[in-house]
Amino acid sequence: MIKSFVNLLSVDGGFRPENVLTFNLMPPLQKYPEPGQRARLFRRIHEAISAIPGVEASGGATSMPPAILQRRTNFAVAGLPELDADARAADYIAMTPAYFRALRVPLKAGRVFTEGDSGVTPLVVIINERFARRHFQNQDAIGRQIRLVNSEHSPDWRTIVGVVGDVHYFGLETPVSLSIYTPFDQTPWFGQYLVVRRRANPQSLTTAVQAATASVDPDLVPAEILPMEKVVARSVATPRFQMLLLGGFAALALLLAAVGIYGVISYSVIQRTHEIGVRIAVGAQASNVLRLMVGQGMILTMSGVVIGLAASFGLTRLMTSLLFGVAPTDPATFAGVAVLLSAVALAASYLPARRATRVDPLVALRYE
């Protein structure tokens, strides 16, 4: 579980969460019933936030990585045969022009959206690398056309103007999906997740962001104002809890096993103090007796380790759904635990046997 959690934290989410403040806004529909009204509202909000000293970029979208995905859509690609059901679904994110810059999502080809991509200009989209690899292989995707196949938006063809890096929207532990990005002005929705990048300490922007939002509309209240790093931490809260819970039980079990092995083998050796005295009295060297005692203790230990490993190989398969990037029969984990328990057993055999070999043979012979 520890290795799984470390592997999860090492996953590249496709964006940079440092120095980013996040929150969400949901304008009241009765006040902004028309899509165009909402698009103009959010444009003014981003302009107000961008004017705050120290703000590098203010962007927004209908989803937010690494684990908030609001929408998916079917699609069709011009020039390709009709896709099967599994291949024609993609994540669908409507976004503002500065969204990629605020999250530092890398542009791989073409261009990002601009303020000129509005509701009255030709329809455009940006796709992620996985989409480009899946449907265009080694061909240039820029200039190709796709259309959204859903009841919300126009079925008109949209031109691909850019390709960006893959971003996780459905959890770091989930493989990246196909993603389609559209300009928010061309596909306005009810609300946005806003991401604001500052040069340092984004938490200090909270009051300024609230004031900037209120300057546009006093009725708007930013919700869930959090640093992006905390959003990422929340997304792995369940794996972290599982790791701490099972890790705690495992540590306790390991401690009990170590104490139990030490106690049993140590007691076994102490019980043989009389035998040790007899062996030394008839001429056995202390090193020979020590080797014998330790060897017999380790034979018992190795038998237990083999039985334990065999049982664990079967039982740990029940944990497969909880693991990430680690096999349920991970050799390093099994080897590490076996070596640790063997070392404990070695100490449990060696220390009391060594003490017993130093006892005067007459005392050892009288030992009960």
Q: Which is more confidently placed, 92 or 296?
A: 92
Q: Which residues contact 48 (CB under 8 A, 6 or more apart)?
A: 212, 213, 215, 216
Res. 347: pLDDT tops 90: no
Q: Is residue 196 within 8 Å of residue 102, measured between CB atoms?
A: yes
Please state the three-class secondary structure of the chain as a single string: CHHHHHHHHCCCCCCCCCCEEEEEECCCCCCCCCHHHHHHHHHHHHHHHHCCCCEEEEEEECCECCCECCCEEEEEECCCCCCCCCCCEEEEEEECCCHHHHHCCCEEEECCCCCCCCCCCCCEEEEEHHHHHHHHCCCCCCCCEEEEECCCCCCCCEEEEEEECCCCCCCCCCCCCCEEEEECCCCCCCCEEEEEEECCCHHHHHHHHHHHHHHHCCCCCCEEEEEHHHHHHHHCHHHHHHHHHHHHHHHHHHHHHHHHHHHHHHHHHHHCHHHHHHHHHCCCCHHHHHHHHHHHHHHHHHHHHHHHHHHHHHHHHHHHHHCCCCCCCCHHHHHHHHHHHHHHHHHHHHHHHHHHHCCCHHHHHCCC
State residue 150's pLDDT score. Answer: 86
CA angle 227, 232, 233 (to 5 degrees): 95
For the segment 130-135, the average pLDDT, to the nearest whole number, is: 93
For the segment 325-348, the average pLDDT, to the nearest whole number, is: 88
* Least confident segment among 25-29, 302-306, 340-344: 340-344
Rg (CA), the chain: 32
Res. 368: pLDDT tops 60: no
Res. 103: pLDDT tops 80: yes
**In the structure, what pLDDT confidence band is assigned to residue 129 with cuts at 50, 70 and 90?**
very high
Report the percentage of the chain scoring pLDDT > 70: 96
For the segment 210-250, what is each residue's pLDDT rounded down to a tens digit?
A: 999 999 999 899 999 999 999 999 999 988 898 899 889 98
State residue 87's pLDDT score. Answer: 66
**In the structure, what pLDDT confidence band is assigned to residue 186 with cuts at 50, 70 and 90?**
very high
Average pLDDT across the chain, whole number:
89
* Least confident segment among 175-179, 214-218, 299-303: 299-303
Q: Which residues contact 71 (CB under 8 A, 6 or more apart)?
A: 62, 63, 91, 92, 93, 189
Number of Cβ within a 10 Å radius of residue 185: 24
Q: Is residue 89 within 8 Å of residue 72, measured between CB atoms?
A: yes
Distance CA 284, CA 271 (A): 19
For the segment 31-48, what is each residue's pLDDT rounded down to a tens digit?
A: 999 989 999 999 999 999
Number of Cβ within a 10 Å radius of residue 218: 8
